[in-house]
Amino acid sequence: MMQKLKDYDFTLMISPILLTAFGLVMIYSASMVVAVVEGHESTHYFTRQLLWFGLGLIGFIICSIFPYKKYQKLMRWIVGIVVVLLLGLFVFGTTINNAKSWYVIGPVSFQPAEFAKIALIMYLASVYSKKQSYLNQFYSAVLPPLVLTVFILGLIVVQPDIGTASIIFLIACSVIVSSGIRFKHLLLLIGVGVVILAFAIPNMVTDVRISRFTGAYQPFEAPETSGYQLIQSYLAIGVGGLNGEGLGQSVQKLGYLMEAHTDFIMAIIAEELGFIGVVIVIGLLATIVLRGIFIARKCEDSFGALLAIGISSMVGVQAFINLGAISGILPITGVPLPFVSYGGSSLLVMLISMGILNNIAKTTRKNEQENDVHTQEPQSKLTFQNRGGKTWVN
Amino acid sequence: MKHKRVSAVTVRRRIVTVFLFGILLFGIIDVRLGYVQFVIGDKLAERANESWSRDIEFRPERGNILDESGEILAENVTAPSVVVVPSQIENPQDVAEKLASILDLTVDEAYDYVSQNESSVRIHPEGRKISEKQETAIKTLNLDGVYLAKDSKRHYPYGDDLSHVLGFAGIDNQGLTGLEAYYDDELSGEKGSLSYYSDAKGGRLEQLADTYEPPKDGSHLKTTINSKVQTIIERELDIATAKYNPDGALAIAVDPKTGGVLGMTSRPNFNPENYQEVDSDVYNRNLPIWSTYEPGSTFKIITLASALEEDQVDLREDEFHDDGDISVEGTELHCWKTGGHGHQSYLEVVMNSCNPGFVELGTELGEEKLFSYIEDFGFGEKTGIDLQGEENGILFSPDQVGPVELATTSFGQGVSVTPIQQVMAVSAVVNGGYLYKPYIAKEFIDPQTNETIKKIEPSLKRRVISGSTSKEVRVALEHVVAEGTGRSAYVDGYRVGGKTGTAQKVGPDGTYMENNYVLSFIGFAPADDPEIVVYVAIDNPKDTIQFGGQVAAPIVGTIIGDSLRAMEVEPRDDGLEKDYQWPDQPKVEVPDLVGLRKEDLNEYMTNLSIETSGSGDYIIDQAPSAGSMLEEGEKIRIYLADETEENNRD
């Protein structure tokens, strides 16, 4: 057992747990007032997130142990379930915030799009690793997987959940880029993408979306409407300064800043714990992402490498979109901060992904050590013999 | 196999690219967050504080405005305002209907107020400072959630008296015109507040300390206004307005020794408490400082004082022959009296207000000297009185002045001045030569301790003429009133000096208007030591002969007499006597006026007063008839028609 634990990447195990635990504290701080105002216990959001954390930990442990290579064999099932869940939304979905993205079963609600992220990562990693040998063939290798990708993206866009769709799109991009397809094909895909966007954007432009953009770039022009949330976020961050106002001391969470415990939790962290708190959170997130990419580089197996890249991208892209929104460099799209923001489906998917990443890390390290053993054993024996020989001679 | 190898290298290279891209993104985010937190953080923190803090306002009491003796000219009276607490109103529609029936608003508007999602709503402005009747009605209904809050309203005990000077304050007690606006900072005091921090819904945050700033009531403003003098002025102008139905009228009284304004008024006027009822032109135009026009003969005082100061003339020794007009560079300038005044001493030139005589004085002084005196007496620039809306007036610019302009300026034509400029210049002429800045605010008094916080001293601008010149002018102007064109301003016992003015108005097209004059008189008393200077101007009076001595002089006489008695100025017994100086003409023979045009009347007007009946330019009848003997100043009634007809004469 100890031997098995030794193979695990300690940093990659501890960082997500630390982040989630820290997130729990901040969720309690940011949500206690909102919870009471909404007529719940002050710990309402905290306990729910704690339950999801427990569930997530189980998923995390299972996935750390379950050999990642077996996902390739389960690929049909995984993709099938996600597609069915997404299609099922049309019939059984519940509309929250104008998007039919949720299944609500009793007190539990979950978002299939979150699971679509990890499923699609697995799918792309699996397909492109299988086709490594003839990846220079555009029609037979590069194009087919994109059809399913576009289909899944389409199902999410029509909910409509542009935020999640763009995240999935960006994750898919990073997996495709890393898969090693030819540069020529990459340029072709980018060209096609640009043309499609050029046609799609005019149809996607709505007043709400325009106001999100103006809200992001000229918040003080419309302080009561589209700029309100960003201004409140700015105020929270601005008040925090270097050290923050102290844990629990946020004023912005008292009804000024909406979604304080979900998408805007980083603003509250900045207000209460200052830049120091911000740097710690970003540091942990960066550790996870960069560590993931590092593992991808080390991984001999291309499925594992692409899976690791996909997972790292997922964390990185979501963190960037979330933090970009609260600091006013991207429009506000309602993307949670990985591990930290309140939200069960997101946390569960994140922790499961971390489990998978840990399993890739462990497998990679084990292989490395075995390789080391194979290459070093004869040498050490030789050295031993030499030494021994000399000893014996002398 | 080869493919795979290349591909694996590509994969690794691509991964490194993604890795670097990831680092770049985190770098961007960190820099951006640091920027928001540190670079613009202080500004944001300030905004946050503003957005968190709630102020309960404590309003200061506005200061009173007082006259020189402490009489209240403007004060506050309590008037309730309607406040509703929506959460306590069970049937908003019913309450809205009831409120709409009492206050000046529709049911829909009332419903908006009573259904707002606020803890308390002030019905503004319809429910602010309501009348007693509305107050009683609301108290009687006794509606749940409808309250009357104490509020204060500006009250002006003298009604429309002094309205332009006092001005008025708006619904939030902010000064909008007049002294109320000019001294708004001092009068309004400082708001107090109880600041507390709150959450977004307005709930109080216990962890952040409250701060209380008590309000600071506004200072009382004591003015130079003498309410008795003001009342006299108002009364006289009311009478004049009723009698002559003029286009406008104004009066100013100042203390020549300080420049302090004793009284000032305009017609039309208004009640400051109901200023909305009149056109904004009425309350914005404080005629004594706003209107500019040709002064006419009152300006001759300036020419006279300048000529005397320059030793250009000896009033008793030098003589002038007036044959009715004077030629200046080929332009004939007429005396107002057809045929002229004949042979006169310069004292008589002044008494008769003889234009050619003044042209002679002005021409002798020369352009440079006359205009430098005019400027020294303060014409062409604002006097700097502490009221808003003062005008400059217009003088000829030096390069425009030729001999004709110099000549007309000498008797008050071709310059445009404000009444207050004339009053201050004449005050300087009669007070020994000292030009003061006119002022109204005298003291600011702390409302709590009644101590004077700030005192405003008279402000001397410059000395223009010597004491002896000043004395000479006073004597000459006393003669004008006792024996000359200003006889109807004579007040027994108060040695009144003064000068008439009849200025033809310039119409919109830039030419002089027919039969449309500003009739004015400027007077001062007592002539040995002037205590008051009074100026009255009546714009285009109807049903009378438009001549300053006829219309304005008697008003000034009454104002001066009554004011000096009210001010308890010692009566004099060494003045010129009105009757003694005309022993050879105790009675006047009534001339035959029938058949003359109205304009021809000018020459008869100095010693008889004329009332008109009917309208038109031609005189068709008169009473008493020609040849009767009348006391000087007695009335002749004339009957006017559009044309003279032989039939009418018989």
Measure the CA–CA gap between B592 and B622, rounded to whole angstroms: 8
Q: Is residue B485 domain-shared with residue B607, that is, in the same domain?
A: no
Picking from A73-77, A133-137, A345-349, which range would have the lowest pLDDT averaged per residue? A133-137
3-state secondary structure of B267: strand
pLDDT for position B470:
93
Measure the CA–CA gap between B148 and A369, rounded to whole angstroms: 87
pLDDT for position B15:
81
Under a CB-based contact definition with an 8 Å cutoff, are residues B195 and B181 in contact?
no
Residue A130 has pLDDT above 90, yes or no: no
Mean pLDDT of chain B: 82
Of A254, A259, A300, A318, which to mutate for an interface test with B (greatest number of B Cβ within 10 Å)? Answer: A254
Average pLDDT over residues A142-149: 86
Measure the CA–CA gap between A74 and A66, rounded to whole angstroms: 12
Higher pLDDT, B117 or B304: B304
With CB atoms and an 8 Å threshold, state whether A135 touches B23.
no
In A, which residues are within 8 Å of B204 by CB distance? none
Measure the CA–CA gap between B424 and B383, rounded to whole angstroms: 8
Q: Band of the pLDDT at B616, cuts 50, 70, 90?
A: confident
B462 touches chain A (CB under 8 A): no
Indicate whether A373 belongs to any domain.
no
Mean pLDDT of chain A: 83
Closest to B135 measured CA to CA, from B78, B202, B53: B78
Q: Is residue B528 domain-shared with residue B469, that is, in the same domain?
A: yes
Indicate whether B203 belongs to any domain.
no
Q: Nearest C-alpha of chain B: how many angstroms from A212? A: 19
Q: Which of B188, B291, B297, B470 is catalytic?
A: B297
Residue B639 belongs to domain with CATH number: 3.30.10.20
Sheet holding B452-455, edge to edge: B152-155, B72-78, B65-66, B220-223, B441-445, B452-455
Higher pLDDT, A133 or B381: B381
Measure the CA–CA gap between B603 and B341, rounded to whole angstroms: 10
Is the pTM here over 0.80, yes or no? no
Average pLDDT over residues B196-212: 61
Bridge partners (DSSP) listed for residue B196: B54
Higher pLDDT, B504 or A214: B504
Q: Identify which of B25, B32, B200 has the shortest CB distance to residue A254.
A: B200
Tell me the residue range of the domain where A283 lies. 2-368
Q: Is residue B551 domain-shared with residue B592, that is, in the same domain?
A: no
Q: Is residue B469 domain-shared with residue B593, that is, in the same domain?
A: no
Q: Nearest C-alpha of chain B: how many angstroms from A301? A: 10
Indicate whether A206 belongs to any domain.
yes
In A, which residues are within 8 Å of B19 by CB distance? 290, 293-294, 297
3-state secondary structure of B619: strand
Q: Is residue B252 domain-shared with residue B389, that is, in the same domain?
A: yes
In A, which residues are within 8 Å of B207 by CB distance? 249
Q: Band of the pLDDT at B579, cuts 50, 70, 90?
A: very low
Q: Nearest C-alpha of chain B: how many angstroms from A172? A: 12
User: How much of chain A, in percent, has pLDDT values that exceed 90?
Assistant: 32
How many structural domains does chain B have?
Answer: 3
Q: Is residue B344 domain-shared with residue B278, that is, in the same domain?
A: yes
Picking from B280-294, B380-394, B527-541, B621-635, which range would have the lowest pLDDT averaged per residue? B621-635
Q: What are the strands, taking DSSP E only, across B133-260?
A: 146-149, 152-155, 192-197, 211-213, 220-223, 248-254
pLDDT for position A375:
54
Highest-confidence range of A239-243, B120-124, B523-527, B597-601, by mean pLDDT?
Answer: B523-527
DSSP secondary structure, B353-409, as one string:
T-HHHHHHHHHHHHHHHHHHHHHHTTTTS----SSS-----B---GGG--HHHHHHH
Query: What does the pLDDT look like over B244-303, one tens digit per residue?
Result: 889 999 999 999 999 999 999 999 889 988 888 888 888 888 999 999 888 888 899 999
Indicate whether B638 belongs to any domain.
yes
Measure the CA–CA gap between B261 and B252, rounded to whole angstroms: 8
Indicate whether A394 belongs to any domain.
no
In A, which residues are within 8 Å of B35 by CB distance? 327
Return the DSSP state at B16.
H
Q: Band of the pLDDT at A340, cuts 50, 70, 90?
A: very high
Q: Band of the pLDDT at B4, cuts 50, 70, 90?
A: very low
In B, which residues are within 8 Å of A305 by CB distance? 11, 15
Indicate whether A378 belongs to any domain.
no
Indicate whether B322 belongs to any domain.
yes
Higher pLDDT, B244 or B604: B244
Under a CB-based contact definition with an 8 Å cutoff, are residues B164 and B264 in contact?
yes
Q: Is residue B613 domain-shared with residue B562, that is, in the same domain?
A: no
Average pLDDT over residues B525-551: 84
Indicate whether B476 belongs to any domain.
yes
Residue B585 has pLDDT above 60, yes or no: no
Helix A228-240 to helix A302-326 angle (10° resolution) is 90
Q: Nearest C-alpha of chain B: how many angstroms from A235? A: 5
Q: Is residue B450 domain-shared with residue B599, that is, in the same domain?
A: no
Higher pLDDT, A221 or A111: A111
CA dihedral B97, B101, B102, B105 (to 10 degrees): 80
How many structural domains does chain A have?
Answer: 1
Picking from A25-34, A296-305, B114-123, B136-145, which range would have the lowest pLDDT averaged per residue? B114-123
Q: Band of the pLDDT at A384, cuts 50, 70, 90?
A: very low
Average pLDDT over residues B198-219: 67
pLDDT for position B431:
93
B48 touches chain A (CB under 8 A): yes
Average pLDDT over residues B336-343: 78
Q: Give the list of residues 6+ apart from residue B161 with CB closer than 8 angstroms, or none.
A: B230, B231, B234, B265
Measure the CA–CA gap between B183 and B437, rounded to whole angstroms: 17
pLDDT for position A381:
39
Q: Band of the pLDDT at B555, cuts 50, 70, 90?
A: very high
Residue entry with tokens 């000297």: B369
Bridge partners (DSSP) listed for residue B538: B249, B519
Q: Give the list of residues 6+ apart from residue B368 with CB closer than 8 angstroms, or none.
A: none
Q: Give the list of residues 6+ apart from residue A67 with CB closer than 8 angstroms, or none.
A: A359, A363
pLDDT for position B237:
93
Residue B182 has pLDDT above 70, yes or no: yes
Return the DSSP state at B61.
P
Tell me the residue range of the domain where B35 lies. 8-53
* Single-letter code of the amino acid located at B511: T
Indicate whether B286 belongs to any domain.
yes
pLDDT for position A39:
79
pLDDT for position B55:
63
User: How much of chain A, in percent, has pLDDT values that exceed 70?
Assistant: 89
Indicate whether B182 belongs to any domain.
no
Picking from B37-41, B94-98, B317-321, B598-602, which range would have the lowest pLDDT averaged per residue? B598-602
Residue A77 has pLDDT above 80, yes or no: yes
B200 touches chain A (CB under 8 A): yes
pLDDT for position A225:
67
Indicate whether A382 belongs to any domain.
no
Indicate whether A71 belongs to any domain.
yes
Query: What does the pLDDT look like over B55-77, one tens digit per residue?
Result: 666 778 889 999 999 899 998 88
Helix A302-326 to helix A162-178 angle (10° resolution) is 140
Picking from A131-135, A278-282, A321-325, B528-532, which range would have the lowest pLDDT averaged per residue? A131-135
Picking from A138-142, A387-391, B39-43, B535-539, which range would have the lowest pLDDT averaged per residue? A387-391
With CB atoms and an 8 Å threshold, state whether A235 touches B51.
yes
Indicate whether B91 belongs to any domain.
no
Q: Band of the pLDDT at B54, cuts 50, 70, 90?
A: low
The CB density around residue A375, as the number of other CB atoms within 10 Å, is 9
Query: What does the pLDDT look like over B424-474, one tens digit per residue?
Result: 999 999 999 999 999 999 999 998 888 999 999 999 999 999 999 999 999
Sheet holding B53-58, edge to edge: B53-58, B192-197, B211-213
Residue A18 has pLDDT above 90, yes or no: yes
With CB atoms and an 8 Å threshold, state whether B37 touches A324.
no
3-state secondary structure of B63: coil
In B, which residues are within 8 Å of A33 by CB distance? 199
Q: Is residue B632 domain-shared with residue B492, that is, in the same domain?
A: no
Higher pLDDT, A35 or A117: A117
pLDDT for position B86:
77
Under a CB-based contact definition with an 8 Å cutoff, are residues A268 and A260 in contact?
yes
Residue B104 has pLDDT above 70, yes or no: yes
pLDDT for position A35:
84
Of A167, A174, A183, A239, which to mutate for an interface test with B (greatest number of B Cβ within 10 Å)? Answer: A239
Q: Nearest C-alpha of chain B: how many angstroms from A26? A: 18
Measure the CA–CA gap between B312 and B255, rounded to whole angstroms: 30
Closest to B362 measured CA to CA, from B302, B448, B296, B284: B302
Under a CB-based contact definition with an 8 Å cutoff, are residues B129 and B79 in contact?
yes
Residue B1 has pLDDT above 50, yes or no: no
Query: What does the pLDDT look like over B486-522, one tens digit per residue?
Result: 888 888 888 899 998 888 787 777 777 777 888 899 9
Higher pLDDT, B245 or B9: B245
Q: Is residue B237 domain-shared with residue B273, that is, in the same domain?
A: yes
Measure the CA–CA gap between B553 and B555, rounded to whole angstroms: 5
Q: Band of the pLDDT at B195, cuts 50, 70, 90?
A: low
Q: Break chain B down into helix, strand, coil percent, rounded to 5.
A: 40, 25, 40
Answer yes or no: B188 catalytic. no
Q: Is residue B453 domain-shared with residue B552, that is, in the same domain?
A: yes
Residue B199 has pLDDT above 70, yes or no: no
Q: Is residue B629 domain-shared with residue B504, that is, in the same domain?
A: no
pLDDT for position B173:
78
